[in-house]
Each structure stands twice: as C-alpha cells, then as structure tokens.
Structure 1
Amino acid sequence: MNDMTQALKHKNAFIGFTVAGYPDFEKSAKYIVDMANAGADLIEVGIAFSDPSADGPTIMNADQKVLAKGTTTEDVFRLMTEVRKHTNVPLVFLTYTNPVFKYGYEKFLSKMKSLNIQGIIMPDMPLEEQEVFLNIAQQYGRAFIQLVTLQSGNRLAKIVSHASGFIYVVSSLGITGSQNELSNEADKIVTSIKELTDIPVAVGFGITTYDQAKLFSSADAIIVGSALVRIIEEHPDDATTYLTEFIQKMKGARNATNQND
C-alpha cells in the first residue's frame, strides 16, 4: 500500500476511473496505460456488475456493454495482467460485494496481491458486515477503501477506523455522473477526517470540469469517473489524445489550486 499512499500525498493527485473491458479488451488495457502516462496518480478499475447501485447512466451503460460480451472476473484479472506489462501505476478495483463473494474473498485478494492491485472499493458492503473481508484483506496487505458520504455524521470516526489506502469522500448525494452543483460540505468532511487520521483523502462523484477540479483544496486527490468513461464512449477507437488532454487539464487545475493555498 505504500505506493498508493505516497502517490496521493502531494495534495494535487488525480485518480481516474474506467470500466475493465470497455470498449473492448485491447482498448481497455491501452486506455488504462494511457491514463497512467497522462499523469493519473492512481486508477480505479471498475468490474462490471448488473446492478451497480452507486453508478450513474454513463458507467451503467459501459457495464452493460461489457457484461453483454460475457466478461467474467477471470477476464478482468487477465486484463490486469496485460496492463501490468506496461505500467506500475497504483491500481484499485471498484466493484460490488456479490462478484467478489462468488469468486471467493481469499482467492480474489490473493489474485490482487499477485498483480499488485493495491486496494478495493465495495460501496454496497455495510460497515457492520466488513469484519470477515477486512481481516482477509489485511492478511494479503490489500487496502479496503472506505467511503464517507455527506450523511455519515456520527459514524465518521468508526468508518475512518476501518480505513486503509485512502478514504473516498462522496461530494454529492446520489449516484456518480455529472453534477451541476457539488456540495461544499465535502470539504468540511475532509477537514474532519484529517483530524482523525493521516490516511490520504480523495473526493469524487460528479467532478467533471476544470473549475470543479479546483474545489476541495483540503483533499489530497480528486476522483473522476463518468467524464473519462464518456470520453471512451464517444471515441472508442481513438480515445488516447482526448483522455490525455483531459487528465492533464484536470491535473493543472489541482496544481493551480494548491499553489494558491
């Protein structure tokens, strides 16, 4: 986990997201590497799921197209094997409990370790039901990344106590995707978290523009998902230049913000 923690300790980090296998196996592997080359400090790789409760229409559409091809969890690990031939960028999975449970917690985490995938996010696993998975994740040295929402309230300290790798602060109510207004309450939550832990804090959900990337100056990183998936959706065969330009622009916004702090 040291690589991931160090990558997010610079106050201007950028975390990108993409769906494994979208738009196809070869392009998916290439675009993950392209994102790393463009300056993404960490990349979340989504494992397509039939009922992605936290995801908006752009990511859901990508999930459905990947699942329609019959893509399996084993295919995702095969994709990660290909990616690891070309980049050592820190990687984490974003998925849901059912695919990991069906594959087997220990088998899944062991495979993650062998591919140096440093952490996992599972938005639908309640805090009260995490003990078994959390213990196995610790045995394999994998981070179980916790989500904090605008409604976490008095549960904040307990969530933070379970956290490793980084803490994911959800900047808006609802699902992922474009948001015209992001809540400034997220920045207050970041400050509260930093009073409890030294673990890096990243803010995501709905960040799509340069101006939005300049918000949340107290966070160590921003997370962008739907905007990147939309670029791939619009340019499935030649997304490299568009991904690179977008990531470099968003990184520039973060650098400008923190130079002004």
Structure 2
Amino acid sequence: MSRLQHTFEELKKRGEAALIPFITAGDPSPQRTLELIRTLAAAGADIIELGVPFSDPMADGPTIQAASERALAAGTTLTTVLDMVAQARRELQIPLVLMGYYNPVFRYGVERFARDAVAAGVDGLLLVDLPPEETNEVKPATAAAGLPLITLLAPTTPPERTKRLAAAAEGYIYYVSMTGVTGTQAVAPAAIRDVVVELRTLSPVPVAVGFGISTVADVQAVAEFADAVVVGSALVRIIGEHGSDEALLDKVAAFTESLKQGCKKNNSN
C-alpha cells in the first residue's frame, strides 16, 4: 500500500478528512522549506503539496506567483525540489506531492524525472497545465515509475468528461472549487457539495477540494463531504509576510493546527 493510500485509509477509520497544505518549494529558501515541511507534519498535516516554482504560473493568483518569484530568486530548480523531498524523506513518512507546470518536467526529461521523483520519495504529481488529452506525453513514464498522475477537475468539466476522467484517476482527484486563479475568491461549499459527493461515487480514489479555502470554517464545511481539503494561498501568505521572522514556524504551526481541527467529519459521507 502506498503512503497516500495508507494515509487516506487511516483517516477514513478516524472519520477525518485529510488536511493538505500547499507551500511553494524554495520559498523563502530551500532550507526554510525543509523546516516548514517538518513543521506542517508535526502540526497535523496529512499530505503536503509542494509547488514547483515556475516563471509563468498562469493558474496562480498574486500570492503564489510572488512565492514562485521568491523561490526562483533563491535559486530553486526542479532538481532542488527533488533534493528537498529526498532530505525530508530521511525522517518523515508524510506523503509529499509535487504540483506545478509541465515545462520544468519537460526540460528535466519526463522519464528521468519520473524515476528521480520516485527515488526521492515523491508520492504524486499534479501538472496544472497538462490537458488530459496530452497526458500520453507523461503517463507512460509515470506509470512505469509508479508515480500517480493526479487529475484536476473543475465545475466547468462536462459530466461525461468528468465520469471518464474520474474512472481513470490515480492517487486522488483534485477538485478545483471555482473558476479563476488561486487565492482570489472564497469557496462556496453549498454550491459544490452535490458535485463532489457524486464525484466520490465515480472515482476509485479519494477526492480533495482546493481553491478558496482559507479558514477553519471553510475546512469544516468542505470536510463534511470531501475526502481531503487543500489550503494554499492562506498559508503561502503567512510565509510571504513572515519568511524572515523567527516566529514563522510558530505561526505556520498554529495555523495548521487550527485547520486540522476542522477536518473531523460529522456525517457518514
């Protein structure tokens, strides 16, 4: 059983949704990212998504764009990110998922990347700008290496397409709760509940919901019907504001602990 599968199975037994914080790898520095990974794991994160910094992050709002700029300025590359994962994996078993854009993977070499990612301890890959019709550029290599290629679905995905993509999903599905870029709107749980509940019946893997989730109340509301809740921009904002402060890790820990309190389900969904 993979680390992702084990994590979701254990949380299901406890009646909890997974808390998946997102941070940009290398922001504010590679060493600080390692400290943040340790802090998130200790504070109750169940899975961590590490954003691979990219110079043209078109799906991201200003908060995560700025984080990418800081990480790139600190010299972070895809190789750096894989090194971070390998270092973290020496002491932690928390699932680590890379989230980013296809260009860095293409330039690295898809087959080489898939092998190196698994060797480093990466548990999944999410490429936000790779359409499902183009996954044949990546899927043979990730499948051969045993690296789940996570599917993105959104409210604009047509029903038949949703069924087809959900049936073939790996690792977990990342359901984007709204259109637009990250960190610019608040989630509306009631508007997506029925879609996510149905999606969970179509998918062989858990369903995570992200975009617009920034408070404990947001987490509580979404955790009632989703298998996992992703919090990105709100956390990245804390890192951006306190990256050079001694109090950064304490602030991240306190925020993460508060979010995890909202992950306990009150129903049987």
Using the size of structure 1 for normalisation, the TM-score is 0.94
Question: Could you say which residue in structure 1 is the equivalent of 2:131?
Answer: 126
Asked if 1:221 is matched to 2:232, the reply is: no
Asked if 1:243 is matched to 2:248, the reply is: no
Question: Could you say which residue in structure 2 is the equivalent of 1:153?
Answer: 158
Q: Please give the secondary structure, in 2, of the residue aligned with 1:86.
A: coil
Q: Distance in 2 between matches of 1:72 and 1:170?
A: 26
Runs of at least 4 residues of structure 1 off by over 6 A?
none
Residue identity in the other structure for 1:50: S
Q: Check conservation: 1:213, 1:250, Cα contact below 8 A.
A: yes
Deviations, residues 97-144 of structure 1 (Å, cap 9, x unaligned): 111011011111111111121100001001111123112211111110
Shift of 1:178: 4.6
Corresponding residue to 2:147 among 142, 145, 170: 142
Question: Could you say which residue in structure 1 is the equivalent of 2:80?
Answer: 75
Unaligned residue ranges in structure 1 (runs of 5+): none
Q: Please give the secondary structure, in 2, of the residue aligned with 1:223.
A: strand
Q: Distance in 1 between matches of 2:174 and 2:167?
A: 14
Shift of 1:218: 1.4
Shift of 1:184: 2.8
Residue identity in the other structure for 1:37: A
Unaligned residue ranges in structure 2 (runs of 5+): none
Q: Distance in 1 between matches of 2:28 and 2:74?
A: 10
Task: Work out the number of aligned pairs and report it.
Answer: 259
Using the size of structure 2 for normalisation, the TM-score is 0.91
Q: Distance in 2 between matches of 1:157 and 1:260?
A: 25
Residue identity in the other structure for 2:62: P
Shift of 1:260: 5.2
Distance 1:65 1:132, change over 3 A: same
Deviations, residues 152-196 of structure 1 (Å, cap 9, x unaligned): 122101211331000001111111115235253322221121221
Of all paired residues, the percent bearing the same amino acid is: 36
